[in-house]
Homo-oligomer: A and B are copies of this chain.
Amino acid sequence: MSEILIDSKSFKNNLDIIASHIKDKNKLALVLKDNAYGHGIEQIASLACEYGIKSVFVKNEFEALKIAHFFDHITVFYGNISPKVPKNIHLSINSLNTLEHLEEKRSIELEINTGMNRNGIPRQNLSFFIEKILSKKLNLFGVFMHNGYGDEKNNDFEEAQKSFLQVKEEIVYLSKKLGFALPRFHSLASCGTLRSGKIEDDLVRIGIAAYGYLGNNFPIPIAESLKPIASLWADKICEQRLPKGSKIGYGGKSVLKKDTIVSTYDIGYGDGFFRHDGSKGELTTAEGYLILPITSMDCFSCISQEERVCVFNDVSSIAKMFHTIPYEVLTSLSPFIKRTLI
């Protein structure tokens, strides 16, 4: 059966690079949402815990409950949390509606929109929200933004950071005026962290870099030492000795130019690996075996006799070929594929 191997040493390598860059391991928080970007949330959580990570971010309550025992702080980005969840689970707030549905004493992190115009409350509503939070007796555990310009080399990134600095100043002022404890502050994801000199926030939220990639559209030398931690392996289903001229798969798209041994392997687009129809170029396994279009829902045909092939150990070129980014290739991998730590 197909399997995703997670390289623990590469994961540690990546965290070491980031920790050394930010000069304070305690500021290192991880983003484990979307099944840890497709890597397996429980497996990555166990490695992160072992490394000493204290704070993580997940998609929803369902993910939080899977890993609540590993960390001091788990923040849920989307949806609501039910009264039964452990107290170390915090909820991200970016609308009045979510705020009003929370019961007293729950712990929250307030998201501010500082220019990405996606999620987060408008800056000008900050004091209104703070008063609402205090009147509802909620615990304001954090205040954060998501800088959506980390990957681009233009002024937008710096502008968003400046805006967040003003948010922080306003919160400091309000905390003195209204008498509440200062929350933790965070704004930077992987690229923003690695491009920044000094980290002024209380923590950084590292996602893609921990998994060995970066979305930067300009050089960041330190990023070159990051190592992809996941490799996808497929096992042979069966092997065919076929004469020249044989057609392979749906519609007979691939036609053999000579007598060839072709094997099928147990990964298909139903496993979340892009359907390869041949229109975007040639696709090979990590070992260089040719994958023949059109791939099927549960398998692909490949010019190989190996019992097991490595579909990828780095998704960069696959992402390029399918006109997308590594994030999409990774998060699409079916959670039903077994993840194994090595």
A-B contact pairs, 27 of them (CB 8 A): A33-B297, A33-B298, A34-B270, A34-B297, A59-B298, A62-B336, A77-B298, A78-B237, A78-B298, A78-B299, A94-B237, A116-B247, A116-B249, A116-B250, A117-B242, A117-B246, A117-B262, A117-B301, A118-B240, A148-B251, A149-B252, A151-B251, A269-B327, A275-B325, A297-B327, A334-B335, A335-B336
In the complex, the 6 A-B pairs of residues with the closest C-beta atoms, listed nearest first: A34-B270, A95-B238, A270-B331, A94-B238, A275-B328, A269-B328
Q: Which of B246, B247, B323, B325 contacts A279 (CB 8 A)?
A: B323
Shortest Cβ distance from A99 into chain B, in angstroms? 11
| Bound form: Cα–Cα A79–B1 in Å | 6
| Bound form: Cα–Cα A214–B1 in Å | 29
Residue of B nearest to A300 (CB): B118
Most chain B CB within 10 A, of A116, A266, A325, is at A116
Contact A269 B332 (CB under 8 A): yes
Bits for A222-238, please: 1 = Cβ < 8 Å to B, else 0: 00000000000000111
Q: Is A296 interfacial (CB 8 A cutoff)?
A: yes
Query: Which of A42-50, A83-91, A119-127 participates in binding chain B?
Result: A119-127
Contact A79 B119 (CB under 8 A): no
Contact A264 B1 (CB under 8 A): no
Copy tally for this chain in the complex stands at 2
Contact A248 B34 (CB under 8 A): no
Shortest Cβ distance from A233 into chain B, in angstroms? 14
Interface residues of A in 251-270 (CB under 8 A from B): 251-252, 262, 264, 266, 269-270
Q: Is A277 interfacial (CB 8 A cutoff)?
A: yes
Contact B77 A272 (CB under 8 A): no
Q: Is A113 interfacial (CB 8 A cutoff)?
A: yes
Residue of B nearest to A272 (CB): B332
Q: Contacts A62-B336, A251-B149, A270-B34 given: A238-B120 contact, CB under 8 Å? A: yes
Q: Is A340 interfacial (CB 8 A cutoff)?
A: no
Residues of B close to A122: CB separation below 8 A: 240-241
Q: Is A60 interfacial (CB 8 A cutoff)?
A: yes
Q: Is A156 interfacial (CB 8 A cutoff)?
A: yes
